[in-house]
Amino acid sequence: MYSPFQLGLKYLRYFFRASNGKGHGIHSPFVFDMVINVLNDNTDYPAYNSIESVRKEMMRDKTVLTVEDFGAGSATGLTKQRTVKQIASSSLKKPKYARLLFRLVNYFHSKNILELGTSLGVTTAYLASADKEAKVVTMEGAKAIASVAESNFKALQLSNVECVIGNFDETLSLVVNRESSAFNFVFIDGNHRKQPTLNYFQQILEKSDESTVFVFDDIHWSKDMEEAWEEIKQHSSVTLTIDLFFIGLVFLRKQQKEKEHFVIRF
């Protein structure tokens, strides 16, 4: 994991290198349209407020949870005590990025959604609220955390979410194998290490098609994750990527004749 100073320098480099986010200089009509209508969409959708009130409540919640440690990526057999408040303030995607997930699902009409890393269910709630007809399968290893997430889905009246509890290393193959159609949208936000990230990508590719949008979290968080991101960009199924620094978008569109990699300020 990079130090805050290293990450800050990397962010500055990204900021000055990236396309300015207004669409200038983006010659791909597909990407241009997404920048204008999704990245730059500042509409205050009603779902945002209800999800953010749940987040706010959790930021005050001092309930102690006994949590399996997935710190090193796979279960170590160790547990630790953490309050809901600590998890809500350190492990969840900030509203700006969670809202972008909501808009992407809306824009691409994604119906079959997979998330690795539920935590307290905030990003899951954004994914599931974008389209109540969509089905979201979300995966989490820590039982006590998943149980808070499930109460949040109830409170938000989201009945289109299924939470699969267990280590991804064991549960992902079951989820992929039972699926009869391709996932349209995949958010990978757990176990930020190179080899597991690449393994999950490879496994999920088996249930993907050219509509599938992958979103990888924390692609510049560590040298390991930057290497994983580079390998994903080079993968033969990948035709287009967009680096937004804190997340990376990956497309498998076949209309895209030449591979293209964009870095866009967000």
Binding site for ligand SAM (CB under 6 A): 70, 73-74, 91-93, 117, 119, 122-123, 140-142, 145, 167-169, 189-191
- Shortest CA distance to 98 belongs to which of 71, 74, 120, 67? 120
Would you say 117 or 232 has its CB closer to ligand SAM? 117
SS3 assignment, position 5: helix
Shortest distance (Å) from residue 48 CB to ligand SAM: 14
- Measured distance CA(234)–CA(261) in Å, rounded: 10
Closest separation between CB of residue 54 and ligand SAM, Å? Answer: 11
Nearer to ligand SAM, 177 or 195 (CB): 195
Cβ within 8 Å of residue 163, ≥6 positions away: 118, 121, 124, 138, 139, 140, 146, 149, 150, 153
Q: Which is nearer to ligand SAM, 131 or 189 (CB)?
A: 189
- Distance between CA atoms of residues 92 and 54, nearest Å: 13
Residues in the chain: 266
Smallest gap from residue 86 Cβ to ligand SAM (A): 12
The smaller minimum CB distance to ligand SAM, of residues 187 and 251, is found at 187
CA distances from residue 244 to 37, 111, 123, 154, 202 in whole angstroms, order as listed: 16, 24, 17, 32, 22
For 129, the 3-state DSSP assignment is helix
Question: Which of 175/240 has CB closer to ligand SAM?
Answer: 175
- Number of helices and strands in the chain (H, E): 10, 10
Give the shortest CB-144-to-ligand SAM separation in angstroms. 10
DSSP-assigned beta bridge partners for residue 260: 240
Q: How far is the CB of 240 from ligand SAM (least distance, A)?
A: 23
Q: How far is the CB of 112 from ligand SAM (least distance, A)?
A: 18
DSSP code string of 179-194: --S--SEEEE-S---H
Output 35 or 137, the one with its CB closest to ligand SAM.
137
